[in-house]
Chain A
Amino acid sequence: MSINSHPRVDFAVIASLIEPGSRVLDVGSGDGELLELLQTSKGVDGRGVELSQKGVSESVARGLSVIQGDADSDLKYYPDGGFDYVILSQTLQATRNPKYVLTELLRIGEKAIVSFPNFGHWRMRASLAINGRMPVTKELPYSWYDTPNIHFCTINDFVDMTKEVGAHVESAVALNALGQRLAFNMPWGFWNLFGQQAVFLLRR
């Protein structure tokens, strides 16, 4: 679902994690921008699942293999290990059952790439601590009552969940507000404070 309309700084990171020519499923593929990028720059065999009718129509008109569907209910139809990579970019926080979805990603894909906004970022913390209100930022512009983002988490929370589902973190990248990578040798706590979003490469 195309939830966040700002330029997608996570796309370049995601693309850098993917081997050329691999089979890729993008869950929540939006208007197909990432899939198209991966097809042209990495020659992947790409497929997408997208909730919004508009996103699917645009994607199909672009010649992409995208189906209308829901991460919460439609992943079960995909066979085990059908893809080299399953991508969930900026969509985890909008799923009803993030843990189930993550488990499904790791069943369908040899590897899963998950990017999400970090609710532990200092701006979020400051907004809540100082204003006493749910944060509304440029990147996450929704008010609490109309947001599709129903399951926010922090980087630390996500790391905990990967352990719970038995996933191995192959690599992880945190990006600051400008989309720059934070130093990789910093502890999770540093990333959790200064990373505006994170991209995780997981395997079963």
Chain B
Amino acid sequence: MTKATRPTAYKASKSQEATNPHSPVVEFGADKPLNLDSGVSLSPFRIAYQSYGTLNEDKSNAILICHALTGDQHVANVHPVTGKSGWWELLVGPGKPIDTDRYFVLCSNVLGGCLGSTGPASINPETGKPYALDLPIITIADMVRAQAMLVEHFGIEQLFAVVGGSMGGMQVLEWASSHSDKVFAAVALATGARHSSQNIAFHEVGRQAVMADPEWKEGRYLEAGTVPRKGLSVARMAAHITYLSETALHNKFGRNLQDRQNVTFGFDADFQIESYLRHQGNTFVERFDANSYLYMTRAMDYFDLAAEHEGRLADAFAGTKTRFCIVSFTSDWLFPTSESRTVAHALNAAGASVSFVEIESDRGHDSFLLDEPEMFSAVNGFLRSAARAKGLLPS
């Protein structure tokens, strides 16, 4: 079995990671095209991934992690571009709720991403140039189709669990709906079965910011040698606010001034919150591709699981044998508890086995990425119970 290579040379450039990543890559050639929701057949394409732990002999201990909008496959290893530790090391690792001593944990960069899987920064084999906006629109279901091919590549017939938050949670729900027999247990955190009008609105602001940047060059900035730094940075700043809560912002920054005693009567970053957001915007540009951001946000906007089933969400899960764990957070206004409750009710109506818990937290949407002990114990309890049911743990 392929062993994940751990990035050793840090501070790789993001363009290098997009085309020649540190992560192992599986190439799907002309014999394995991907039929996208848009009607286009994508071929060839490739998926970059990281893996942790060991796949057991009967290949029954695999957990697939689906990353969020601006996440990537570097769940529990040092990030090759930023040099920071993995984004979910609190949850994934030896002895953690997603225990890499027990499970084989797989996470792939989503299709349309920019950390090695085929995306707008990849080279279009037909032109020899980056795809940019010539890449067909990617949907959540397309991401899942690509993941399913990767899972098949590993010879895994059924995943023990699929786990993800936010856009990752959308993928979890899509997996459970369209590949139900391949998912024993599903953990969907801070997510919903559709993107709300408000969420689409925020994404549109972000996309327009990117596209308004002259350096974007109608998407052909890689060839032009420019970076739509301002646009992507503003997009990130706006989005970042939606990941937090008013309480969290107030507690962290209040109206505190940044390295000064008084306001400057100008438009410099007087307030700490301004400085913080600018920093968030700037660091994001260093690691993320602007066109990828357009594709990812579009994929989330198009997601509406009920619509694929004539408006009846319960039908998306009809006859499912998958066990579900749904978690929401009280202060999450991007994917409020009502969205998770809708999913839980649909699963009830479908007769599914479902655990649903709303966790008290003032840290907003990003809570699922943070140290939330109640979330850890819920995920841990759910997975242990599922592992007993699947015979991975003694009952």
Could you list which residues of chain A lie within 8 angstroms of chain B, going by C-beta atoms?
Answer: 45, 47, 53, 56-57, 59-69, 74, 77-79, 82
Return chain B residues, CB-CB under 8 Å to A56.
355-358
Return chain A residues, CB-CB under 8 Å to B359.
53, 57
The distance in angstroms between the C-alpha atoms of A70 and B306, with both chains bound, is 24
Given A67-B344, A77-B345, residue A61 in contact with residue B354 (CB < 8 A) = no
Q: Give the residue name and chain of the A residue nearest to B325 (CB).
A: A60
A53 smallest CB distance to B (angstroms): 6
B368 smallest CB distance to A (angstroms): 15
Q: Which of B337-364 contact A (CB under 8 A)?
A: 341, 344-346, 348-349, 351, 353-360
**B323 sits at the interface (CB 8 A):** yes
User: In the complex the two chains form, is A63's CB within 8 Å of B385's CB?
Assistant: yes
User: In the complex the two chains form, is B353's CB within 8 Å of A65's CB?
Assistant: yes
The distance in angstroms between the C-alpha atoms of A66 and B381, with both chains bound, is 12
The listed residue (A47, A57, A77, A82) touching B357 by CB distance below 8 A is A57
Return chain A residues, CB-CB under 8 Å to B346.
77
User: In the complex the two chains form, is B378's CB within 8 Å of A60's CB?
Assistant: yes
Q: Give the residue name and chain of the A residue nearest to B323 (CB).
A: A65
Return chain A residues, CB-CB under 8 Å to B357.
53, 56-57, 60, 66-68
User: In the complex the two chains form, is A68's CB within 8 Å of B358's CB?
Assistant: yes
**B41 sits at the interface (CB 8 A):** no
The distance in angstroms between the C-alpha atoms of A137 and B355, with both chains bound, is 34
User: In the complex the two chains form, is B381's CB within 8 Å of A61's CB?
Assistant: yes
The listed residue (A45, A62, A67) touching B381 by CB distance below 8 A is A62
B28 smallest CB distance to A (angstroms): 37
User: In the complex the two chains form, is A79's CB within 8 Å of B349's CB?
Assistant: yes
**B280 sits at the interface (CB 8 A):** no
**B377 sits at the interface (CB 8 A):** yes
Return chain B residues, CB-CB under 8 Å to A68.
341, 344, 356-358
Return chain A residues, CB-CB under 8 Å to B386.
63
**B37 sits at the interface (CB 8 A):** no
The listed residue (A63, A67, A77) touching B349 by CB distance below 8 A is A77
Q: Give the residue name and chain of the A residue nearest to B328 (CB).
A: A68
Given A57-B357, A60-B357, A68-B358, residue A78 in contact with residue B349 (CB < 8 A) = yes
B150 smallest CB distance to A (angstroms): 29
Return chain A residues, CB-CB under 8 Å to B360.
53
**B374 sits at the interface (CB 8 A):** yes
User: In the complex the two chains form, is A79's CB within 8 Å of B325's CB?
Assistant: no
User: In the complex the two chains form, is B348's CB within 8 Å of A60's CB?
Assistant: no
30 residue pairs of the A-B complex, CB under 8 angstroms, read A45-B353, A53-B357, A53-B360, A56-B357, A57-B377, A59-B355, A60-B355, A60-B377, A60-B382, A61-B381, A63-B381, A63-B386, A63-B388, A64-B355, A65-B323, A65-B353, A66-B356, A67-B348, A67-B357, A68-B341, A68-B357, A69-B341, A69-B344, A69-B356, A74-B345, A74-B348, A77-B345, A77-B348, A77-B349, A78-B348
The distance in angstroms between the C-alpha atoms of A62 and B348, with both chains bound, is 20
The distance in angstroms between the C-alpha atoms of A61 and B359, with both chains bound, is 13
The listed residue (A66, A69, A82) touching B351 by CB distance below 8 A is A82
Return chain A residues, CB-CB under 8 Å to B345.
74, 77
Query: 4 closest Cβ contacts across the A-B interface?
Result: A63-B385, A61-B381, A67-B356, A77-B345
Q: Which of B187-210 contact A (CB under 8 A)?
A: none
Given A60-B378, A61-B377, A63-B382, residue A79 in contact with residue B356 (CB < 8 A) = no
Q: Give the residue name and chain of the B residue nearest to A40 (CB).
A: B395
User: In the complex the two chains form, is A47's CB within 8 Å of B384's CB?
Assistant: no
Q: A63-B384, A65-B323 are in contact. List 12 more A-B contacts (CB 8 A).
A: A45-B353, A57-B359, A60-B377, A61-B381, A65-B354, A66-B355, A67-B354, A67-B355, A67-B357, A68-B358, A74-B345, A79-B351
